[in-house]
Amino acid sequence: MSSYYSPITYIIPPEEDGWLLKTILHKRMEVSRKLLSRLKMTEQGIKVNGERVYISVKVRAGDTVEIRMETEVSEDILPQPIPFESLYEDEHLLVVNKAAGIIVHPTHGHYTDTLANGVVHYWAEKGERYRFRPVHRLDQETSGVLVIAKNPFAHQHISEQMIAGKVDKRYMAFVHGKPVVPEGDIDGPIDRDPEEPHRRIVTPDGYPSLTRYKVMETYSGGSRVELKLETGRTHQIRVHMTSIGCPLIGDGMYRHPLYSEAAPTPDQTAQLAGIAALDAAMPRQALHAVRLSLRHPVLPENLIFEAPLPPDMAALENELKQGKPELAAE
């Protein structure tokens, strides 16, 4: 016999008396067509007042509508005792502060030592059955807030919020140099580099990509920048900041163009020495998902999650402050 998660319920208000159950499920409970098809195939998937019914029935004021999803596990993910920092958890969501250097999900040739392995182990130790469903991505070397849905309903709702631009994702980065304009948009289509397919470039034929940025503080060798993603392309922040001449400090893939200068002038040589010193001080790209806000998929609440700068970026900030910082324009 199948086991189920706790039900998600909806009480029919007087103004919806006589509505079709199908309409309630779609319009009020916001169940997707795909999930509705799955619920209809399970014994306890859809009930009204505790009774299994067809979605073509009419509901009455005061009726209790319930949907229940069958429990799931990630059978293809090996549980491993990998520690991670939890920022929030309930029966629908797990929000973590991902450490730099850890891959989110197993990939071809990298099946262990990922965040997914650690989360699956954590749930198994608690005797809980969930499938690992991250609703967005962070690069291996990017740290910060990451949201994991614990059931299909939560995954669907947050994914739809992201598509609609209702999830506010903020990043903090330390970059070389200083953007010419202290606050603005980088609207540059992104696609694979045909010469190096693992890299991305800004190209007219690429996919629409938009990053909003604001310089928060400047130093003698770089800047601290807050960024907001309006699209979610691979390496988007790293590519966009490089495109305006301010690559992320420590980024070994999208390096400062002076590294490839064939015959640097004395001034460029001196500048490159400072760039190289900052890159050497940061073992990965200086990028952190510092804040994320969304609407809870079930509860009538807006949630805000924040993760402070990790030690390596805090140390880099201190090093940058060794010079005389200039406060950025408001």
Q: Determine the Cα–Cα distance for residues 306 and 290; give it in Å rounded to an integer.
A: 6
Length of the chain, in residues:
330
Helices (H), 18-168: 21-23, 33-40, 115-125, 152-163
Q: Determine the Cα–Cα distance for residues 25 and 22; give it in Å rounded to an integer.
A: 5
Q: Determine the Cα–Cα distance for residues 181 and 226; give it in Å rounded to an integer.
A: 14
Question: How far is C-alpha 100 from the geometric centre of its chain's CA atoms?
Answer: 14
Residues 6+ apart with CB under 8 A from 244: 179, 180, 186
What residues are annotated to the active site? 139
Residue carrying the six token digits 């010193």: 277
Q: Determine the Cα–Cα distance for residues 200 and 190; give it in Å rounded to an integer.
A: 6
In sequence order, what DSSP letters do the residues of 302-328 get, joined into one string? EEEEE-PPPHHHHHHHHHHTTS--EEP
